[in-house]
Structure 1
Amino acid sequence: MLHHAPLLTTIAAGLGAAFILGLIAQKLRLSPIVGYLAAGMAIGPFTPGFVGDPEIAMQLSEIGVILLMFGVGLHFSFKELLAVRKVALPGALIQMLVASAAGTGLGLFLGWSLGAALLFGLALSVASTVVMLRALEDRQLLDTRAGHIAIGWLIVEDLAMVIALVIIPVVAADAVGPLELTKELAITGLKVGAFVALMVVVGRRVIPWLLAKVADTGSRELFTLAVLALGIGVAVGAAWMFDVSFALGAFFAGMILRESELSQRAAEDSLPLRDAFAVLFFVSVGMLVDPAVFIEQPLALLATVLVIVGGKFAIAYLVVRVLKYSRRMSLVVAASLAQIGEFSFILVTLGTEYEILPGDAGDLVLAGAIVSIVINPFLFAWASRAYRASEADDAAPREYEGRGHVIVVGFGRVGSRVAAGLWERDIPVVVVDDNENRVKVMRDEGREAILGNGVRSKVLHAAGIDEARMVVVAIPDPLNAGAVVSKARALRPEAVILARGHRDVDIAYLTELGASQVLVGVHEVADLIVQQAALPHDATH
């Protein structure tokens, strides 16, 4: 009977094996990802015993990619995306170009045709969405400047892959000319532009409105269903109508939904499914790998891994450093990109379909992916330790030892105004911000400033949270602000915690997490207008 339910058996076997081997990996002080990949190999077609359906597993993993990018979009804004364009755009293009060239050289050395070598190099140049996001989330770096750069970089790679997936079939066709290629590229550009325009113009109105209507029904079940339907529906619709990748479509859907007052609830409701399907992604990768390649082609595999991990890490690090970012930020961005994943598999499948890639090239890409994914947590742990060690070196000499002070988390438009007002009144202030340029300017002016993410205990302790009388959370994003409020309340229960909000829903959300008071801009402006209007006529002149 079970052979009639391949979807059910694949999910059951995949999650069950991932749980057991992931737990073993955790006990051995390895990343659970290692266990998930091993689980995929255990139920894959190249090992004895039960064999899951690799095609079904890959489709399930696509849902994981969609949900993860949808979640990232809920944290990201167009403003933040544009803020990192100066490093993400040139960085991604340079890294892809150099990594593709290195992979092409390796392919030619192995005796493949130029077309096969080029496609092989391109497959080695693009990072995995799932691996990067899991690494950033696990170390609470997703909402830092380094995390934003890495995500922006990933979006550029995603757009480049959309173009590549259009070019490959055209180039593979006989008698292709520059006119046909130009035509296909123009059509692709128009489709992507139409999708973005549709999401910005129509999506910003329709998606938040629809979610609000569902929330008004009072059904949590329907609300969760609406969130999933929107995230997956927009992603699939974008791929079907505009030839945009699932990941890119889901990312834009999340960014649009961020405009809604219910974005926090949407993020929380979709989190368990995001985690579950992310696990299935790693299982599906493991299922694709033939262990024989590790024995039959060890040197070629080693060279492939060196391009993926060593080459991409070095290129990204150098690019970010050349663009005058710090060593610690360069390390985090480089580590997050030193692996390959889902787009590499799509390129291999396409190359095989059009008979461009030889069979051993696909095996090397898949084996290289699994090795890079296994190495990545260790590389990332080392890079993030260096990031935090540098951060601690900056923070330690400035660790605040006073008492009765105010901690201001976030030095944007609101945070800077709050800090300036307190400084004018000679009230001791310690600013926490993850932008090193802002922190440097404040320190040069003799102000107390801590470089780091306010959600981390070490950073708040450096800011003197144990003796602070008040914490002002001036971060504009309610989701990030909520994490800081929760951490500050846990570390300093007796402190007054003030947070900023944009809508009525933010008041309930942040208060529930521990804020003493949530100030909403429109409310405060309205109160001031009422105060002015209530004054005697002469007093207002």
Structure 2
Amino acid sequence: MEHNISLITTIAAGFGLALVLGVIATRLKLPALVGYLLAGVVIGPFTPGFVADAGLAAQLAEIGVMLLMFGVGLHFSLDDLLAVRKIAVPGAVVQMLVATLMGVGLATWWGWGIGQAVVFGVSLSVASTVVLLRALESLGILDSYTGRIAVGWLVVEDLAMVLVLVLLPPLAGYLGGTQPAADGVPVWQTLGKTLLQVAAFVALMLVVGRRVFPWLLWQVARTGSRELFTLCVVAAAVGIAFGSAALFGVSFALGAFFAGMVLRESEFSHRAAEESLPLRDAFAVLFFVSVGMLFNPAVLVEQPLRVVGVVLIILVGKSVAAALLVLALRYPLNTALTVSASLAQIGEFSFILVGLGASLGLMDPAGQSLVLAGALISIALNPLLFRAIAPLQAFLREKSAYVRRLEARDDPLAELPMTTEQRFLAQQVVLVGYGRVGRRIAQALQEAGQPFVVAEQNRELVERLRAQGMAAVYGDAAEPAVLIQAHIAHARMLVVATPDALSAQPMIETARTLNPGIEVIVRSHNEEEAAQLRAAGAGTVFLGEAELARAMTQHVLTPPGSRGAQHA
């Protein structure tokens, strides 16, 4: 008796080819995501040989979308977004509008209808969070302030795209899609009904979900079974996504996103993220493979100029717009270049949007292939753009008088005010970074009556510190001008509390040049970084794991009776 094993063959072919091509991509210093997309191209209907079941692949991709969005919600931190809101919110909104208008203009010039042009333009405006996070992690700047700006920017883009995914179906009929517009019903009424359904779902999740979900996780965790805990997390993600669609007409993506957000409120959020990660990664791979199956490589030969136009919008258009916006908001050139490189690609949300557009009759196969071509090329080139930041920055400074004036512009936060007490200007501590570590050091220095100057890249934070009466300078301390403004030449100590070890080396060099006798203290994440920092001139390097082990060992070896006195 023969069995239909198309599901097994689709999964086996997808995983197998994705593994092989993903390994090849990483060996070529490309994101593994490129390999997953190419695997879909190989088993898709547009290339010779084995063709996977497109219908099954689409359903597997839908699960992948749910788990991808669940992961986005699980890592969505409102606090992190609020910390960079003054640059991330206006920057992301304006950059998305500019990129969308460029895409709409190009599509209109090609003769496309307004509906397809809008979907096309919006799909080019949003970058991939998955690609960005992996790029920032590989560079070691994910926890830096610039890294947080880039992530916050993409979180705003993600939230905007969630709204687009919600509003597109009711608007499809008015944009010329196959889903007919409601006869005699004004567009505002259709939108109002949709937003009310979304609001009801969000209210239910925030009021009921925040109580029920953590309680349910706690009950399952008490069983002590790891597999039941993982099953509970996945069942909640998929169940809420399906329920939101069935009961409220909300997309699977939005339901899964809010499932992740609600779970983040639970004390088990970190464990849930770790336990569900392998399954999320596996279905994410199938999602990217299924997207690759939609790509027709013939578009590269038949419409090369259109592919070039799409790639230019992604790599140049929206990146330049983002860089100019960051500079206009008075942030450093390095931040502008890093954010622009972060946005020079498109990914999962673009795929979800063009897939939704296709189902609503707002995107034809040729348009899908153009977006996928732009994604493949931009993701492949993205690592090269990050590597080009440092040499490009040096080149612009050397060749452009405008850039030099831009970086030397009169910024009241970039220098200490004349009213700063003289006690801050001699034998003080220069503290670089006011994050989780720097804040504790500053508090201890205040309690000890030790004068110090904070150098910090977060403008809003510098404003707040000055309002509290602290001496603070805004800017990237890797630039000599910032440390000069912090009076490093007269300081007795430089304390680098930022997690970015690479940026600490130029700080040490500047400090040693202007003040040879200064004591330098830095933090590091591993022995290799610590060795590099010591070679660069750091006097004391605190290694996180080593210091934690030392403190725990001291506690273990201290007799119980004397611990209270020691802590006192």
Q: TM-score, normalised on structure 1?
A: 0.73
Q: Deviations over 1:321-345 (max 9, x none)?
A: 3233333333333333333334444
Distance 1:339 1:496, change over 3 A: closer
| Structure 1 residue 11 corresponds to structure 2 residue 11 | yes
For 1:252 and 1:389, locate their aligned partners in 2 and report how far apart those are by CA, in whole Å. Answer: 45
Q: Name the residue aligned to 1:411.
A: 434
Q: Deviations over 1:227-277 (max 9, x none)?
A: 222233333333443444444433333333233222222222222233333
Distance 1:488 1:74, change over 3 A: farther
Shift of 1:63: 3.6
Distance 1:272 1:153, change over 3 A: same
Q: Deviations over 1:451-473 (max 9, x none)?
A: 74x2x554678899xx99997xx
Q: Name the residue aligned to 1:315.
A: 321
**What are the within-5 Å matches in structure 2 for residues 14-93 of structure 1?**
14-93=14-93
| Structure 1 residue 156 corresponds to structure 2 residue 160 | yes
Shift of 1:409: 9.9
Select between 300-309 and 52-61 the one with higher mean Cα deviation: 52-61
Higher alpha-carbon Rg? 2
Query: Could you tell me which amino acid in structure 1 is paired with residue 368 of structure 2?
Result: G
For 1:497 and 1:451, locate their aligned partners in 2 and report how far apart those are by CA, in whole Å. Answer: 12
Select between 352-361 and 162-171 the one with higher mean Cα deviation: 352-361
| Structure 1 residue 120 corresponds to structure 2 residue 124 | no
| Cα contact 1:432–1:449 (8 A) shared by 2 | no
Give 5+ residue unaligned stretches, structure 2.
397-406, 408-428, 463-471, 476-482, 509-518, 532-539, 554-563
| Cα contact 1:410–1:431 (8 A) shared by 2 | yes
| Cα contact 1:99–1:125 (8 A) shared by 2 | yes
Shift of 1:54: 3.2
| Structure 1 residue 440 corresponds to structure 2 residue 440 | no
Q: Name the residue aligned to 2:413.
A: none
Q: Name the residue aligned to 2:339.
A: 333
Query: Tell me, what secondary structure is at the counterpart of 1:304?
Result: helix
Query: Could you tell me which amino acid in structure 1 is paired with residue 272 of structure 2?
Result: A
| Structure 1 residue 192 corresponds to structure 2 residue 222 | no
| Cα contact 2:314–2:345 (8 A) shared by 1 | yes
Q: Name the residue aligned to 1:478.
A: none
For 1:352 and 1:225, locate their aligned partners in 2 and report how far apart those are by CA, in whole Å. Answer: 33
**What are the within-5 Å matches in structure 2 for residues 350-365 of structure 1?**
350-353=356-359, 355-365=361-371
| Equivalent of residue 216 in structure 1, options 216, 222, 233 | 222
For 1:139 and 1:292, locate their aligned partners in 2 and report how far apart those are by CA, in whole Å. Answer: 35
| Cα contact 1:489–1:514 (8 A) shared by 2 | no
% same residue: 50
Select between 35-44 and 82-91 the one with higher mean Cα deviation: 82-91
Query: Tell me, what secondary structure is at the counterpart of 1:516?
Result: helix
Q: Name the residue aligned to 1:165.
A: 169
Query: Tell me, what secondary structure is at the counterpart of 2:173?
Result: helix
For 1:67 and 1:278, locate their aligned partners in 2 and report how far apart those are by CA, in whole Å. Answer: 7
Distance 1:262 1:342, change over 3 A: closer
Shift of 1:302: 1.0
Q: Deviations over 1:105-156 (max 9, x none)?
A: 2222223334443343233333344434443444455554222232223222
For 2:337 and 2:140, locate their aligned partners in 1 and report how far apart those are by CA, in whole Å. Answer: 15
| Cα contact 2:431–2:452 (8 A) shared by 1 | yes
Select between 214-223 and 95-104 the one with higher mean Cα deviation: 95-104
Query: Could you tell me which amino acid in structure 2 is paired with residue 295 of structure 1?
Result: V
| Cα contact 2:127–2:344 (8 A) shared by 1 | yes
Query: Tell me, what secondary structure is at the counterpart of 2:170?
Result: helix
Shift of 1:410: 7.0
| Structure 1 residue 285 corresponds to structure 2 residue 291 | yes
| Cα contact 1:46–1:290 (8 A) shared by 2 | yes
Query: Tell me, what secondary structure is at the counterpart of 2:473?
Result: helix
Q: Name the residue aligned to 2:445.
A: 422
Shift of 1:347: 4.3
**What are the within-5 Å matches in structure 2 for residues 514-529 of structure 1?**
514=549, 516=551
For 1:197 and 1:511, locate their aligned partners in 2 and report how far apart those are by CA, in whole Å. Answer: 46
Query: Tell me, what secondary structure is at the counterpart of 1:334?
Result: helix
Query: Tell me, what secondary structure is at the counterpart of 1:440?
Result: strand
| Cα contact 1:96–1:122 (8 A) shared by 2 | yes
| Cα contact 1:497–1:514 (8 A) shared by 2 | no
Distance 1:358 1:226, change over 3 A: closer
| Cα contact 1:434–1:451 (8 A) shared by 2 | no
Q: Name the residue aligned to 2:534.
A: none
For 1:389 and 1:457, locate their aligned partners in 2 and report how far apart those are by CA, in whole Å. Answer: 23
| Structure 1 residue 250 corresponds to structure 2 residue 256 | yes
Shift of 1:297: 0.8
